[in-house]
Amino acid sequence: MAAIVRSRIAAAIAMCAPAQAWSHAFDDRFDLPAPLSYFIAGAAAVVAVSFLIVASFMRRAPSPSTQYTVHAGPVLGFAYNLARLFGLLVFVITIVAGLAGTADPMMNIAPTIVWIAWWVGLSLFVACAGNVWPAVDPWRTLFDLMNSVVRRLGMRNGMTLGWRYPQTVGTWPAVILLLSIGWFEVVYPQAAVPHTLATVLLVWTAATLTGMVCFGRNIWQRNADVFSVYFATLGRFAPIAPRGDRAILLRPPGSGLIDADVGSVAMVAFIVAMLSTVLFDGLLGGPMWALIQRKLAITAPSLTDSNGYAVGAVGLIGVWLIFLLAYLISCAVTTSLTRGVRFKRVVYAFAYTLVPIAVAYNIAHNASNLVTQGEQLIALASDPLGVKWDLFGTANYRAPIGLIDARITWYIAIGSIVAGHVLSVWLAHRVALREFRAARPAVIASLPLTALMIIYTAISLSVIAEPMVKFETPDAVISE
Partner 1 sequence: MKIVFFLLLGCFVCTSVVARAADVSRKAFALTIVKGTVARNERVLKVEKGDVVQITVTSDAPGVLHLHGYQLEAKLGAGVAQAVSFTAHATGRYPFEWHGAGQDTKAQAHAKQPLATLEVWPR
Contacts with partner 1, residue ranges (CB under 8 A): 7, 10-12, 14-15, 17, 19, 22-23, 25-26, 28, 30-33, 37-38, 41, 44-45, 48-49, 52, 55-56, 300, 302, 400-403, 405-407, 411, 471-480
Q: How far is the CB of 396 from partner 1 (least distance, A)?
A: 13
Give the C-alpha separation, 456 to 316, whole Å: 16
Give 144 or 375: the residue with its C-beta nearer to partner 1. 375
The type of residue at 476 is: A
Q: Is 95 within 8 Å of 87 (Cβ atoms)?
A: no
Q: How far is the CB of 41 from partner 1 (least distance, A)?
A: 5
Q: Is 443 within 8 Å of 54 (Cβ atoms)?
A: yes
Q: How far is the CB of 232 from partner 1 (least distance, A)?
A: 33
Q: How far is the CB of 464 from partner 1 (least distance, A)?
A: 14
- What is the SS3 string spanning 233-270? HHHHHCCEEEECCCEEEECCCCHHHHCCCCCCHHHHHH
Give 154 or 402: the residue with its C-beta nearer to partner 1. 402
Q: Is 421 within 8 Å of 453 (Cβ atoms)?
A: yes
Give 23 or 66: the residue with its C-beta nearer to partner 1. 23
Residues 6 or more apart whose Cβ sits within 8 Å of residue 279: 319, 361, 459, 460, 463
Q: How far is the CB of 104 from partner 1 (least distance, A)?
A: 17
Residues 6 or more apart whose Cβ sits within 8 Å of residue 143: 159, 209, 212, 213, 217
DSSP E strands, 154-272:
240-243, 247-250
Give 138 or 282: the residue with its C-beta nearer to partner 1. 282
Give 49 or 61: the residue with its C-beta nearer to partner 1. 49
Kindly report the backbone phi and psi dihedral angles of residue 70, in degrees, each rounded to the nearest multiple of 5, phi listed first: -115, 125
Give 11 or 328: the residue with its C-beta nearer to partner 1. 11
Q: How far is the CB of 91 from partner 1 (least distance, A)?
A: 32
Q: Is 293 within 8 Å of 238 (Cβ atoms)?
A: no
Give 37 or 210: the residue with its C-beta nearer to partner 1. 37
Give the C-alpha separation, 462 to 282, whole Å: 10
Give 15 or 317: the residue with its C-beta nearer to partner 1. 15
Q: How far is the CB of 48 from partner 1 (least distance, A)?
A: 6
Q: How far is the CB of 309 from partner 1 (least distance, A)?
A: 18
Task: Name 240's bridge partners.
Answer: 130, 250
Give 3 or 169: the residue with its C-beta nearer to partner 1. 3
Q: Is 268 within 8 Å of 347 (Cβ atoms)?
A: yes
Give 145 or 401: the residue with its C-beta nearer to partner 1. 401
Helix (H, G, I), strand (E, B) or coil at 115: helix
Q: How far is the CB of 11 from partner 1 (least distance, A)?
A: 5
Q: Is 173 within 8 Å of 223 (Cβ atoms)?
A: yes
Give the C-alpha separation, 427 to 334, whole Å: 16
Q: How far is the CB of 43 from partner 1 (least distance, A)?
A: 11
Give 310 or 476: the residue with its C-beta nearer to partner 1. 476
Q: Is 331 within 8 Å of 51 (Cβ atoms)?
A: no
DSSP-assigned states of every residue in 37-74: HHHHHHHHHHHHHHHHHHHHHTT-PPPPPP-EEEE-TT
Give the C-alpha separation, 149 to 322, whole Å: 48
Q: How far is the CB of 342 from partner 1 (least distance, A)?
A: 33
DSSP E strands, 118-210:
none
Degrees, nearest 5: CA angle 38-41-47: 140
Q: Of 208, 233, 210, 234, which is closest to residue 221 (Cα–Cα)? A: 208
DSSP-assigned states of every residue in 446-466: HHHHHHHHHHHHHHHHHHHHG
Give 42 or 173: the residue with its C-beta nearer to partner 1. 42
Q: How far is the CB of 466 from partner 1 (least distance, A)?
A: 13
